[in-house]
Amino acid sequence: MKKINKKSLNGFINYGIVIAAFAVIQVLLGMGRLSNSLQSLLVPACCYIVMAVSLNLTVGILGELSLGHAGFMSLGAFSGITVSILLQNALPMASARLAVSMAVGAVAGALGGAIVGVPVLRLQGDYLAIVTLAFGQIIKNIIMVLYVGVDETGFHIAASSERFNLGSDGVAIIKGPMGAVGVTKLASFTAGFVLIMITLLVVQNLVNSRSGRAIMALRDNRIAAESVGINVTKYKLMAFVTSAALAGAAGALWGLNYSSTVASKFDFNTSILVLVFVVLGGLGSIRGSIIAAALLYVLPEMLRGLGLDDFRMLIYAIVLILVMLATNNDQLKALVGRVIPKRKKVAANG
C-alpha cells in the first residue's frame, strides 16, 4: 500500500461511479421524479454500456477494429429469449430465469466469438473489420429465416415457414422476419446494474492481469510482443471471446426487455452506434465508454419535445462531428493542458 496502484484506483473509481449513479437513480425512482421516458431508457442504456465496455476491450485494448459487435448481441438476444421461454415452467422465479438466460446469452456470444475469432484473428486492421462486418450480416441473415418453436413433441427448428410444423398447442419462439414475439419481459434496471458491475469486474481484472498486459503489448507492437514469447492467437482470442460473451449477455438482457425483438435491429448501424460510443469515450478508457454510452444513448431521446423533431437526427449528426473535432483539436488539448496541468502529467506518466 505504500505505492498506490493507479490502475486499481482507477478501477475502484469506475465501480464507485456506477454504484453512485445506480443509487441516485433508485432514489429518484423512489421519489417518482423520473419521467416515463427516462425510465424506459434505463435498461437499454445498461445494455449499451455493457456493449461499449466490451467493444472497448476489442477496439481499445486489443487494438482490432470490429464492425460486427451487434452480431454477438443478436446471438445473445435470441438464445436468451429461447431459453427464457423454454424454462417458463421449469423455473418460475423471474430473476433466476433472467440470470440463466443471460448466462446462456453469454455462452452463445462466446461461441460466436470463438467461431469468428479462431480463423480471422490472423487478419489485421481493416480486413478484420470487414470480416466482423460480414459476420454480423451473416448472423442477421440466418436469424431472419430461422423458425424456432416448442410443442409437446419437443423442440422444433426450421429454415422456412413451410417446413416449420409446430403442433397446434406449440409456442413459436422465433418466427423468421417477425422475430421473437410475445416475450415475457424479465429485464430490470437492477439486473442491468448487476451486469455492468460484472462487466467491469471481468474487463478491469483482465486488463490489470498478466494476460491483459500481454494483450496491450500486442496492440502496441505485435512483433516485439511475439519476440518475447507472447502467444498472439491465444491472447487475441482471449480478449475477443470475452468481449463477445459480454455482448451476448447484454443482448439477452436487451431481448428480455421488450415483448418483441427482430433480427434487423442488430444490424450494421447498431454495431456502428456502439463503436461511436467507444471512440467518443476514448479508446481504452472504460470510464469514457460508460459515460459516452449513457449520455449518447439518452441524447436523441432528450431532443424530443424541444419542438425540433424534424431536426433531431440532424442535430445528433452535427454533435457527433463537432465532438470528434473538438476532442481531437490540438489547440483545445493544449488549453485543457494549461488549465489542468496535473492531469497532463499523470497522463504522461501513466
Partner 1 sequence: MKKKNLAALLMAGAMCFSLLAGCSSSGGQNSTAPSEAGTQESKPAGDNQGSDVVTIKVGGIGPTTGNNAQYGTATEWGAEIAVDEINAQNGPIRLELQYEDDTGVADTAVSAYNSLKDWGAQVIYGCTTTAPCVAVAAETFADRYFQLTPSASSPDVTANKDNAFQMCFTDPGQGTAAAEYLKSSGLGTKIGVIYNNGDAYSTGIADAFIAHAKEIGLEVVATSTYPEDTTTDYTVQLNACKDAGADLVFLPIYYTPASLILAQAKQMNYAPIFFGGDGMDGMLDMDGFDKSLAEGLLLMTPFNASGTDERTKTFVETYQAAHGILPNQFAADGYDCMYAIYEACCQIDGIDGMDHAQLCDALIALFTGGDFSVDGLTGTGMKWLTTGEISKAPVVVKVENGGYVTQ
Partner 2 sequence: MSFLNNVITGVSLGSIYAIIALGYTMVYGIAKMLNFAHGDIIMVGAYMCFFAMGSFSLPPAAGVLLAVVVCTVLGIVIERLAYKPLRSAPSLAVLITAIGVSYLLQNSAQLLWGADTKTFRPLVEGSLVLVPDQLSISYVAVLSIACCVVVMIALTLFTGQTKMGKAMRACSEDKAAAQLMGIDVNATISMTFAIGSALAAVAGVLMCSAYPVLSPTTGSMPGIRAFTAAVFGGIGSVPGALLGGILLGVIETFAKAYISTALSDAVVFAVLIIVLLVKPAGLMGKYVPEKV
Pick one of partner 2, partner 1, none as the site partner of residue 198 (Cβ within 5 to 8 A by kind). none
Distance between CA 47 and CA 64 in Å, rounded? 22
Please choose which of partner 1, partner 2, none residue 49 contacts, taking the beta carbon within 5 to 8 angstroms, the exact cut-off set by kind.
none
Binding mask 163-202 for partner 2 (x = CB under 8 A): ----------------------------------------
How far apart CA 241 and CA 326 sit, in angstroms, is 34
Pick what 178 binds: partner 1, partner 2, none; C-beta below 5 to 8 Å, kind-dependent.
Answer: partner 1
Residue (47 or 61) nearer to partner 1, CB: 47
Contact between 268 and partner 2 by CB under 8 A: the answer reads yes
Residue with cell 456493449: 51
Q: Which letter does DSSP use for residue 230 in this model?
A: -
Among 317, 334, 340, 346, binds partner 2 (CB under 8 A): 317
Residue 296 CB, nearest approach to partner 2 (Å): 11
Q: Coil, helix or strand for 33?
A: coil
Element holding 168 (H helix, E strand) = none
Footprint of partner 1 (CB under 8 A)? 35-37, 39-41, 44, 141, 144-145, 161-162, 176-179, 181-182, 185, 254, 258-262, 264-265, 301, 304-305, 309-310, 312-313
Helix (H, G, I), strand (E, B) or coil at 44: helix
Binding partner of residue 245 among partner 1, partner 2, none, CB cut-off 5 to 8 Å per kind: none
Of 315, 252, 240, 266, nearest in space to 65 by CA: 240
CB under 5 to 8 A by kind: which of partner 1, partner 2, none does 265 bind?
Answer: partner 1
- The CB-of-127 to partner 2 minimum distance in angstroms stands at 6
Please report how close the Cβ of residue 259 comes to partner 1 at its closest, in angstroms: 3
- From the CB of 333, what's the least distance to partner 2, in Å? 11
CB closer to partner 1, 40 vs 221: 40
Going by their DSSP bridges, the two strands 171-175 and 154-158 should be labelled as unpaired
How far apart CA 316 and CA 59 sit, in angstroms, is 23
Q: Which stretch binds partner 2 (CB under 8 A): 94-102, 116-124, 206-214, 234-242?
A: 116-124
Pair 60, 215: CB distance under 8 Å:
no
In terms of Cα–Cα distance, which of 222, 216, 265 is closest to 73? 265
Interface map 40-79 toward partner 2 (x if CB under 8 A): -------------------x-----x--------------
Alpha-carbon distance of 236 to 122, in angstroms, equals 9
Q: 249 with 105: CB under 8 angstroms?
A: yes
* Plot region of 182 (φ>0 → left; ψ -120 to 50 → alpha; else → beta): left
Angle between helices 69-86 and 125-144 (to 10 degrees): 30
The reply to whether 232 sits near partner 2 by the rule CB under 8 A is no
In this structure, are residues 280 and 296 in contact, taking their beta carbons and an 8 Å threshold? yes
- Stretch of 35-43, 100-108, 205-213, 222-230 contacting partner 2, by CB under 8 A: 222-230
| R_g of the chain, CA atoms, integer Å | 21
Residue 301 binds: one of partner 2, partner 1, none (C-beta under 5 to 8 A by kind): partner 1
Which residue reads 418466427 in cell numbers? 175
Three-state DSSP class for 67?
Answer: coil
Binds 151, which of partner 2, partner 1, none (CB < 5 to 8 A, cut-off by type)? none
Q: For residue 154, what are the β-bridge partners? A: 151
Task: Note the residues at the interface with partner 2 (CB under 8 A).
Answer: 59, 65, 119-120, 122-124, 126-127, 129-131, 133-135, 137-138, 140-142, 144-145, 159-160, 222-224, 268, 272, 275-276, 279-280, 283, 310-311, 313-314, 316-318, 320-321, 324-325, 327-330
